[in-house]
Amino acid sequence: MTSIDITLKAPGRPGPGSGPGSGPGSGPAGPAAKVAAGANRGASYLVASGQVAVRTLKQFVRTPALIIAGTAQGALFLLIFRYVFGGAVGHTGELNYVNFLVPGFVVTGVLFQGMGASSGVAADLEGGLFDRLRSLPIRLLSIVTGRVGADSALVAWGAFVMTVIGFAVGFRLGGTVAQGLAAFGLTVLFGFAFVWLFITMGLVAGSPQAAQGLSFLVFPLSFVSSAYVPVSTMPGWMQGVTSR
């Protein structure tokens, strides 16, 4: 027996494999490793989405032009249709034109707010925000979901402002308040669906300028509807498309 063996087996001195970290369950796959692995798991899907949404909302607040531009544009169009074209449209049946115009305009007005989502997400992508967030231990879909939530809140704000202006220019409900609130909720849901479309355009566009151009292609489609004029006043071939 050599001196090394005597030293390793000496009383009171732990030998190889007998230390506190060498027992069952305390190796590389033991509790300490499991805790370390759990620490790198990252935020949950809902928490990550909420943080991205809060970050985007703060960006809106710090740059008021993002809110004012879309809201003012929709308000100006509503006033133009109400006071410039309203007198020339006389085929709305028993409804006066303002009661015919405002509900359809509030619904299609979500396009004014939603169009900014495409250029906004394209700017974030170009600025490297998505690359930085992708380096974190979070699900990639939470980045897009958070952006959708923030832009949907902006769409809801725009629809609310359009509704208030509609009442200011003479619109009145034809049903109960509950029915009006339900219609407003459906409008926000409609805007939520279009925000997904606009953000997809921003992700594939490659630049904010290209994203703005792509999103503008959706805007003229709002005129091919019964939102501004009755379908009966359109050409026959267009009525088949508009009624659907």
Is position 19 within any domain? no
**What are the distances in angstroms from CA 171 to CA 8, 130, 144?**
93, 43, 37
Is position 10 within any domain? no
Range of the domain at 65: 45-242
Q: How many domains does the chain have?
A: 1
Is position 227 within any domain? yes
Closest among 109, 126, 114, 110 to 209, alpha carbons compared: 126
This model's pTM is above 0.75: no
Beta strands in 48-132 (DSSP E): none
Q: Alpha carbon 35 to chain centroid distance?
A: 35
Q: Is 160 exposed, middle or buried (0-12, 13-18, 19+ CB in 10 A)?
A: middle
Is position 110 within any domain? yes
**What are the distances in angstroms from CA 10 to CA 112, 147, 160, 171, 198?**
82, 65, 82, 96, 74
Is position 149 within any domain? yes
Other residues' Cβ atoms within 10 Å of the Cβ of residue 222: 17
Is position 32 within any domain? no
Q: Per-residue pLDDT for the chain (244 aa), expressed as one digit of tens each?
A: 444 444 434 444 444 444 444 444 444 455 544 444 444 566 788 888 888 899 889 988 888 887 887 788 888 888 888 887 776 665 566 678 888 888 888 888 888 777 888 888 888 888 887 778 777 787 878 888 999 999 999 889 989 999 999 999 888 888 889 999 999 999 999 899 989 989 988 888 878 888 888 888 777 777 777 777 777 777 777 777 776 6
